[in-house]
Structure 1
């Protein structure tokens, strides 16, 4: 029996590594635009705009399961690819122009609900294994999440993640990824949880525009983030909205559900949202037994506009805040 189990596991790994993904030749038939494939280098470049359509995959028709032979995907300037990329091995996805090299989704609001599919199973970029690097690109109006790493490491650099559709049901979350993932010099304007601190993640030189339903830093919707650390440097929060539940709170840091302790350290935080709060921590059962502990230090904080510290402080809040002079900031506002 042990031999049989070993055989099944080994075969499963072999099957995953060898047969994962649709080949470049498959993509050639399923992409309406033009691309160039340099097999010797493992580089595929989308030269013209088009749509990915693996119709046999049903509602996931737009996703290309990238084969291991593809090491780098480039999107030319002034080129929009309507589709998504899911990877199993190390891969770089980059654009020639940050603003005009675009991975696009849809203009339809609440796309998962209207297609009767669970939002967490849909994303424009998804790493199942290996390391995924996404750089110098715009992700626009995803059908659901922008980026998921599952347990894999993802690095975002010099990229924009935008949802222009409005509404509160688009599930256009920013990034959830494995330990050691990073975000650098990125811009988020998207209507759901933006940076999910479910594992250790480092975010630098990044701006988050709080549009409707946006939560810049989400601690978790279950027990899984326990022990995670989010390290931020030079984070800018702008906008005049957010996730209003409850009481129009529009909190920057939210612990929604689950039992966990998460640490958030920020060195250099600028806040310019006149309707925002700093934190919301929820009591799952509303029984006064708090499941969430938020630790960490926010230093070099510059508050240009903010409304309050919190309206939903049903957790253990051990955050300490310091302004740009090193003076401690009271939470009584």
Structure 2
């Protein structure tokens, strides 16, 4: 087991390097022996040898590639630990709501809270882990070891319909359809969202390029189209239901993607001043409005995720060419939110 090594005297070019000064007593020792002893058993000598041979060790800021090299008094020996490799995902018996399955693909209704593929902080308990258990070896390597069969994804806290490829042919076909964003007429992705306020137009389009936020690299924001990282993004929306009026209002909106950018619906709806209820990233400043919703205030204020559900997915079957379409109802938490808003009595104050 590898043990994280704390930085010791981090002077020199290796940021975060562990550094050790060779004393008179250590003079003449092999480099691997010196380091293994300096690390007080945190790494085995064979592991130290492999790190030296991999170029992770330097002496006086010069790479030392031989474990047999003899160290001299006053020399500074630096070790830079490589980033740990991500583990390959393992099958896990996680229940899946399968809407359709054949030899080419699986269509499922992803619950909110389920991460699609492994990553930092979520190496287990993901949709990929569940699919590996459900499908066995049929997913192996399709689309990459850590993303087997995945041709699109939904955010952790977004629920709804997803399709997964079970072989290379299906993966290529579905990936092409997602890349076309429906421009060729084969695919459609539609979402339902509960947003703050009521858009002024019952039907509209948001066309605004998206890029990374300068203040938070994990967020997306609307940027000028000419910015180097700008990505063309178009969202069509239709107001399905209206709740309340004025500053105490919300609405159920259908959104159809013409492009598929990260956080697209969330950013675009926030851009037109109608962020999703429950969206702490793009609509947290609207949360204070919840207290005005009277009988629905607690439900609105406490909604634990962005109120977004991928309710419809249509695509062309990779093998047969048949038009496939799948729809799902709002999950329980969103249904409860909508019901509370349909019948709420505003705060009189």
For this structure pair, what is the TM-score category when the shorter chain's length is used for normalisation? under 0.3
Where relative contact order (Cα < 8 A, 6+ residues apart) is larger, the structure is 2
Structure exhibiting the larger radius of gyration computed from Cα positions = 2
What TM-score do you get using the length of structure 2 for normalisation?
A: 0.20
What TM-score do you get using the length of structure 1 for normalisation?
A: 0.21
More strand by share: 1
